[in-house]
């Protein structure tokens, strides 16, 4: 492929990452240089799909998602796409041997958002697997350079971290999901009224996921450990801020971590990882 177009394709995904997510961008910059473009390309792909189902209300979302999927698989077959985001991602899929079943599971979860408004426990687990766990698995495959034995060993931890991140996203976006998009991901909300008791139960569930996921971060290759730990600390800080927010206020506003705090977490992560203070 033409090197200039290849470079431009990854640059577009990099721009999308920087514009949409300060926290994720900080994490990616903390990875070794060789890992950054592949992760940017993965983020660009999943972000565009997510935007279709969450933002493009004036368009036929199902048709847009169908076209997006078809164009991606066509690019994977042909080895090129004139959509720079798809072009970058198909190169990453080919280079690292990302499993097509993971991509299919992700797109299935995106389609669930087009039609479902409330989720059972089974449906929520299916949704989280496709929307978050498989993204963690694809990142892991990139981090280990395609090493299958290492991938198999660390997969449960990558999935657990993806689950924790997604559940915190649900809590952070509770107002938008409930009031604007009329979605309810947590089946607990159908069984008990939203309040402090319900919120506490959900928070405890997330903290268990975080505790288990941390064990996997310690075993990651050094090239990826700092970047993943930065993301871990950011979401942990977000979780603690949500814990300090009342159930009533959580339904009124979106909780976030300020950029200065994010930078302080980066410094903390660097000291802990480089100083081997995580063990």
Give the separation between CA 270 and CA 211, rounded to whole angstroms: 20
CATH class, 3-274 region: mainly alpha
Residue-level pLDDT, tens digit, the chain, 279 residues: 789 999 999 999 999 999 999 889 999 999 999 999 999 999 999 999 999 999 999 999 999 999 999 999 999 999 999 999 999 999 999 999 999 999 999 999 999 999 888 888 899 999 999 999 999 999 999 999 989 999 999 999 999 999 999 999 999 998 888 877 788 888 887 777 888 988 898 899 899 999 999 999 999 999 999 999 999 999 999 999 999 999 999 988 899 999 899 999 999 999 999 888 776
187 exposure class (CB count in 10 Å sphere: 0-12, 13-18, 19+): middle
Give the separation between CA 89 and CA 108, rounded to whole angstroms: 18
With CA atoms as reference, report the closest residue to 102 among 54, 46, 61: 46
Instruction: Return the domain boundaries, the chain.
Output: 3-274
238 exposure class (CB count in 10 Å sphere: 0-12, 13-18, 19+): buried
Integer CA distances (angstroms), 182 to 123, 174, 200, 202, 233, in order: 16, 10, 22, 19, 30
Give the separation between CA 90 and CA 81, rounded to whole angstroms: 8
At 99, list the tokens: 């499993």
- What's the whole-model pTM score? 0.93
At 116, list the tokens: 């479902």
Give the separation between CA 21 and CA 72, rounded to whole angstroms: 23
């Amino acid at each position: 492929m033409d090197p200039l177009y290849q470079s431009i394709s990854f640059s577009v995904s990099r721009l999308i990452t920087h514009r949409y997510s300060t926290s994720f961008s900080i994490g990616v910059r903390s990875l070794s240089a060789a890992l950054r473009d592949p992760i940017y390309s993965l983020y660009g792909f999943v972000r565009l799909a997510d935007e279709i189902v969450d933002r493009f209300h004036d368009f036929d979302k199902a048709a847009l998602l169908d076209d997006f999927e078809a164009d991606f698989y066509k690019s994977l077959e042909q080895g090129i796409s004139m959509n720079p985001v798809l072009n970058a991602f198909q190169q990453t899929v080919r280079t690292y041997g990302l499993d097509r079943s993971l991509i299919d599971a992700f797109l299935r979860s995106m389609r669930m958002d087009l039609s479902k408004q409330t989720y059972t426990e089974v449906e929520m687990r299916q949704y989280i697997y496709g929307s978050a766990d498989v993204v963690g698995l694809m990142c892991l495959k990139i981090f280990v350079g395609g090493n299958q034995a290492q991938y198999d060993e660390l997969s449960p931890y990558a999935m657990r971290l993806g689950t924790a991140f997604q559940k915190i996203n649900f809590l952070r976006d509770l107002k938008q999901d409930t009031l604007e998009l009329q979605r309810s991901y947590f089946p607990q909300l159908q069984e008990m009224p939203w309040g402090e008791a319900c919120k506490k139960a959900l928070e405890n569930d997330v903290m268990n996921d975080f505790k288990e996921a941390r064990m996997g971060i310690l075993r990651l290759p050094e090239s990826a450990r700092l970047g993943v730990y930065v993301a871990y600390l950011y979401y942990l800080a977000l979780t603690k801020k949500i814990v300090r927010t009342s159930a009533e206020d959580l339904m009124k506003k979106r909780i976030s971590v300020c950029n200065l705090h994010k930078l302080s977490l980066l410094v903390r992560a660097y000291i802990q990882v480089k100083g081997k203070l995580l063990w």
